[in-house]
């Protein structure tokens, strides 16, 4: 899933006139405010322009050279070469909405806990600025999901997700009765707390918490992971990236709810059908490191690897 263009630049021609970077930050965190200040100062010092949402700028100590925009639409990234996002997973997913709609690569700096979407940590801010200024980063494309909700055969809602589309119960005292379908054929039905349909990127998010497998980002596949299913056969399923996954909410069951990346939601009445397929538009991520996903997995989850000797040479 790596962009065929490879590196974004060779490092020659350091600060170019007319180059602009968009900055998105979780301004509710003091660490994000300080980090944003450092990034903005570094970029401006090297001659790059910086653009920020006006409502976020209120909480940030920004110099007058920073460009402020008022509308939260994809068009606010017009002319920007990169979107830098400072925050936790929620902020990074908010940034992914801008990145997908605009096609501008997103570079995430993790100020939260795990942050699999992030490429850098808070201590790497100087390196982030240097790599952006010298265009020393690569761009990688990540699969997304296109989601359709039908009731009585009619399409009533369209959405998308980078991590997952999750069908969940609403009533805590009753299970959600569903039937799962893959490529137009029924697989199984049961009562459960919900179903997570995820991308490889989302395999380390909600799907992971529900007991799903970790899927390396370069593997093109779709995941379907039951949540607390009351059934003997309720295993996570990994399908082809061209498959169409469907979850049908059965009649007579309490209504459910669809969450896309934990950010956008719609109610699912009994009889509703959710269809999930590979998204037509990917999200582009800027990468600073060539570290393997294995090393990232070990670092993010602090996995015990002491005693490892490696393959014999």
For the annotated binding site for NAD(+), the residues are 89-90, 94, 163-164, 174, 193, 204-209
Dihedral sign for Cα atoms in the order 52, 58, 61, 62: positive
Within a 10 A sphere around the Cβ of 129, how many other Cβ atoms?
21
Q: Is 126 a catalytic residue?
A: no
Nearest to 82 by CA among 99, 104, 102, 67: 104
Q: Which of 3, 78, 89, 261 is catalytic?
A: 89
Strand partners, 248: 179, 273
Q: Which residues contact 21 (CB under 8 A, 6 or more apart)?
A: 43, 48, 49, 50, 51, 80, 81, 82, 83, 84, 132
The binding site consists of 89-90, 94, 163-164, 174, 193, 204-209
Q: How far is the CA of 102 from the CAs of 78, 97, 271, in angstroms? A: 8, 9, 35
- Which residues are part of the catalytic machinery? 89
């Amino acid at each position: 899933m790596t962009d065929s263009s490879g590196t974004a630049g060779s490092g020659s021609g350091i600060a170019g006139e007319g180059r602009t970077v968009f900055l998105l930050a979780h301004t509710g965190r003091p660490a994000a405010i300080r980090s944003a200040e450092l990034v903005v100062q570094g970029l401006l010092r090297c001659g790059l322009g910086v653009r920020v949402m006006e409502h976020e700028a209120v909480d940030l100590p920004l110099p007058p050279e920073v460009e402020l925009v008022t509308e939260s639409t994809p068009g606010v990234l017009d002319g920007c070469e990169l979107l830098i996002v400072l925050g936790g997973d929620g902020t990074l997913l908010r940034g992914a909405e801008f990145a997908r709609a605009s096609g501008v690569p997103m570079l995430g700096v993790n100020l939260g806990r795990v942050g699999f979407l992030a490429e850098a940590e808070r201590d790497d801010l100087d390196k982030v600025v240097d790599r952006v200024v010298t265009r020393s980063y690569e761009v990688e494309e990540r699969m997304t999901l296109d989601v359709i909700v039908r009731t009585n055969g009619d399409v009533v809602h369209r959405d998308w997700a980078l991590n997952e589309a999750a069908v969940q119960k609403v009533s805590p005292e009753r299970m959600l009765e569903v039937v799962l379908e893959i490529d137009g054929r029924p697989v199984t039905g049961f009562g459960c707390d919900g179903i997570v349909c995820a991308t490889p990127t989302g395999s380390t998010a909600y799907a992971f918490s529900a007991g799903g497998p970790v899927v390396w980002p370069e593997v093109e596949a779709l995941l379907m992971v039951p949540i607390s299913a009351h059934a003997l056969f309720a295993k996570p399923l990994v399908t082809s990236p061209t498959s169409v996954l469907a979850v049908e909410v059965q009649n007579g069951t309490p209504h459910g709810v669809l969450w896309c990346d934990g950010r956008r939601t719609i109610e699912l009445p009994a009889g509703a059908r959710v269809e999930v397929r590979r998204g037509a538009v990917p999200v582009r991520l800027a990468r600073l490191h060539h570290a393997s996903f294995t090393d990232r997995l070990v670092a993010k989850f602090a996995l015990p690897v002491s005693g490892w000797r490696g393959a014999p040479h």
